[in-house]
Amino acid sequence: MQTPYRRKETYVKPKPDPYLTKEKFNELKNKLKRMKATHPHLSAEVKRLAEMGDFSENAGYQEAKRRLRSLNQRIMELETHLKTAIIFQPSKNTDKVNLGHRVMIESENKQKTYQILGGTETNPAAGIISHNSPLGAALMGHQVGDIIKIKLANREKVFKIIKIT
Residue 49 has pLDDT above 90, yes or no: no
Pick the last residue of a domain from 87, 116, 133: 87
Look at the chain and report how many structural domains it folds into. 2
The reported pLDDT for the residue numbered 16 is: 83
Residue 56 has pLDDT above 90, yes or no: no
- Higher confidence at residue 34 or residue 120? 34
Q: Which of 116, 113, 111 is nearest to 140 (CA)?
A: 116
Q: Are residues 127 and 152 in the same domain?
A: yes
Q: Are residues 67 and 122 in the same domain?
A: no
Instruction: Identify the domain containing residue 135 by its residue range.
Output: 102-164
Classify residue 160 as left (phi > 0), alpha (psi -120 to 50) or beta: beta
Pick the last residue of a domain from 62, 87, 112: 87
CATH number at residue 82: 1.10.287.180
Tell me how far CA of residue 14 lies from CA of 11, 28, 77, 80, 86, in angstroms: 9, 18, 12, 13, 17
Residue 4 has pLDDT above 90, yes or no: no
pLDDT mean over 83-99: 90
Q: Are residues 69 and 119 in the same domain?
A: no
- Report whether 86 contacts 15 (CB < 8 A): no
Per-chain mean pLDDT for the chain: 89
Residue 59 has pLDDT above 90, yes or no: no
Instruction: With respect to residue 83, please indicate whether it lies within any of the assigned structural domains.
Output: yes
pLDDT band at 94 (very low <50, low <70, confident <90, very high): confident
Q: Are residues 68 and 29 in the same domain?
A: yes
Residue 102 has pLDDT above 90, yes or no: yes
Instruction: With respect to residue 145, please indicate whether it lies within any of the assigned structural domains.
Output: yes
CATH number at residue 144: 3.10.50.30
The reported pLDDT for the residue numbered 9 is: 67
The DSSP letter of residue 121 is G
Residue 3 has pLDDT above 60, yes or no: yes
Q: Are residues 80 and 112 in the same domain?
A: no
The reported pLDDT for the residue numbered 58 is: 79
